Chains A and B, each alone.
Chain A
Amino acid sequence: MHPLTKITDVLWELPQSYKAGMRVPGRIYATEQMLSRIVGDNCLEQVANVACLPGIQSYSLAMPDIHWGYGFPIGGVAATAPDEGGVISPGGVGYDINCGVRLMRTNLTQEEVAPKIHDLVSQLFRDIPCGLGEKSDLRLGRDDERKVLSQGAHWAVAHGFGAPEDVDFIEENGCMAEAESSNITERALERGAGQVGSLGSGNHFLEVQVTDEIYDETAANTMGLFLGGITVMIHCGSRGFGYQVCDDYLRVLGRAPEKYGFHLPDRQLASAPINSPEGQEYLAAMRCAANYAFANRQVLGSKAERAFLHALRISPDALGMQLVYDVPHNIAKFEEHVVNGRSRRVCVHRKGATRSFPPHHPLVPPRYCAIGQPVLVPGDMGRYSFVLVGRPQAMLQTFGTVCHGAGRLMSRSQAKRELSFDQLRRDMEQRGVVMMARGRGTAVEEASAAYKDVAEVVNVVDNAGLAVKVCRLRPIGVVKG
Chain B
Amino acid sequence: MKAFEFFEHTADIGVRAYGKTREELFINAARALYEVQGRFDLADRRILKAELAANSIDELLVRWLSELVYRLSTDGVCFKHFRLQFTGDQKLVAQMEGGAVDFAHSEVSEEVKAITYHQLSVKQTADGWMATVIFDV
Contacts and interface: CB of A to CB of B under 8 A. Distances in A.
A345 interface: no
Given A71-B118, A247-B66, A202 B113 contact: yes
A406 to B, nearest CB: 12
Interface in A132-151: 132-134
A481 B109 CA distance: 10
A323 B110 CA distance: 30
B108 A95 contact: no
B137 A412 contact: yes
Contacts of B137: 201-202, 412, 442
Contacts of B72: 132
Given A133-B101, A408-B10, A439-B38, A267 B110 contact: no
A53 to B, nearest CB: 16
A247 B118 CA distance: 13
Given A411-B10, A413-B13, A201 B118 contact: no
Interface in B83-137: 101, 103, 106-111, 113-118, 120, 134, 136-137
Interface of A: 41, 67-71, 74, 95-96, 131-134, 187, 190-191, 194, 200-202, 240, 243-244, 246-247, 250-251, 254, 266-268, 270, 408, 411-414, 438-442, 445, 481
Contact of B10 (A67, A439, A441, A481): A67
- List the 8 shortest-distance A-B pairs measured between CB atoms, nearest first: A441-B109, A133-B103, A132-B111, A201-B111, A442-B110, A70-B118, A411-B8, A240-B73
B86 to A, nearest CB: 20
B117 A201 contact: no
Contact of B136 (A68, A95, A133, A266): A95
B51 interface: no
Contacts of B103: 132-134
Contacts of B118: 70-71, 266-268
Given A68-B10, A187-B70, A244-B70, A440 B113 contact: no
Interface in B1-51: 6-13, 37-38
B117 A70 contact: yes
B41 to A, nearest CB: 11
22 contacts: A67-B10, A67-B11, A70-B134, A70-B136, A95-B116, A132-B37, A132-B103, A133-B103, A200-B113, A202-B111, A202-B137, A243-B136, A247-B115, A250-B117, A266-B118, A268-B116, A412-B110, A413-B6, A413-B7, A413-B13, A439-B38, A439-B109
B37 A68 contact: no
A432 to B, nearest CB: 26
Given A70-B136, A200-B113, 4 more contacts: A95-B113, A246-B114, A412-B12, A441-B108
A414 B117 contact: no
B11 A439 contact: no
A481 B108 CA distance: 10
B8 A414 contact: yes
Contacts of A250: 117
Interface residues of B, number: 35
A412 B74 contact: no
B3 to A, nearest CB: 17
Contacts of B113: 95-96, 200-202, 240, 243
A70 B38 CA distance: 24
Contacts of B109: 439-442
Contacts of A70: 116-118, 134, 136
Nearest to B72: A132
Contacts of B8: 411, 413-414
Contact of A191 (B73, B106, B120, B134): B73
A411 B9 contact: yes
A240 B13 CA distance: 18
Nearest to B116: A70
Contact of B114 (A243, A408, A440): A243
Nearest to A201: B111
A187 B70 CA distance: 8
Of B7, B107, B110, chain A has the most CB atoms within 10 Å of the CB of B110
Contacts of A442: 109-111, 137
A133 B101 CA distance: 8
B58 to A, nearest CB: 9
B110 A408 contact: no
Contacts of A96: 113
A133 B109 CA distance: 12
Contact of A74 (B11, B59, B116): B11
A133 B76 contact: yes
B91 to A, nearest CB: 16
A411 B7 CA distance: 10
Nearest to A410: B10
A184 to B, nearest CB: 14
